[in-house]
Amino acid sequence: MNALTLHYHPLSSCCHKVLIAIDALGIEVDKRLLNLGDPDERAAHLARWPMGKMPLLMDGPRAVPETSIIIEYLQRHHARPGRALIPDAPDAALDVRLWDRLFDLYVMTPMQALTADLLRPEGERDARTVAQARERLSSAYAFIDHQLEGRTWVTGAAFSMADCAAAPALFYAVAYVPPSPRHGHLAAYIERLMAHPSVALTIDQARPYFKFFPGRSGLSRRYFDPDTV
């Protein structure tokens, strides 16, 4: 059995971020689908990591939580030679970590707020929260679009941990708030992200689960066709 085990769910944007990194780093990992709705599975997961979040990487008996920490740990200890998502140069590494956090906080977080609202009973939905989340995504899109001018990937020429964070956050976010026509750099970047082999693989493996995504009506037909469900 592989010493590395990832407890995850294939619909989760946070899990996608780590799955993309695992493939990009060329690492073999035993993937265990986690159903937190099952009391026994939830109890076992809480025993591994008391916060109960996923994804969670287990390296033998060692628990490694939190997406960015998992990716950095994998690069440091298990990446295939010549593969890296965080550069060695300190300032360049800080730039990658900054944009990783920006995507998690300002794209993934409001996207998750929109998802959470759809999961509530209709009478308990919060129009103000939805409006704020949409506004935050639009503001983030403008900021990201400016950063991407003249760049292939968000921090430069190399695909990095920041792009691993960007791909799932944007994939789901644009289902709720598509980029404005004036955000051409962002739109082109999203297409590059979706074409990246590690991103494409992760998205493809998640296809059977998109029918459970609350915002599925906004997904492109190339990823989810409601007529085939």
User: 176-185, pLDDT tens digit by residue?
Assistant: 999 999 999 9
Of residues 88, 66, 94, 67, the one with CA closest to residue 76? 88
pLDDT tier at 1, thresholds 50, 70, 90: very low
For 25-70, the pLDDT digits (tens) are: 999 999 999 999 899 999 999 999 999 999 999 999 999 999 999 9
Residues in CB range of 121: below 8 A, 6 or more apart: none
- The upper half-sphere exposure of residue 167, i.e. CA atoms within 13 Å in the direction of its Cβ, equals 29
Q: What is the pTM of this model?
A: 0.95
pLDDT tier at 227, thresholds 50, 70, 90: confident
Of residues 8, 214, 24, the one with CA closest to residue 118? 214
Task: Report the length, in residues, of the chain.
Answer: 229
| Cβ neighbourhood burial of 222 (10 Å; 0-12, 13-18, 19+) | exposed
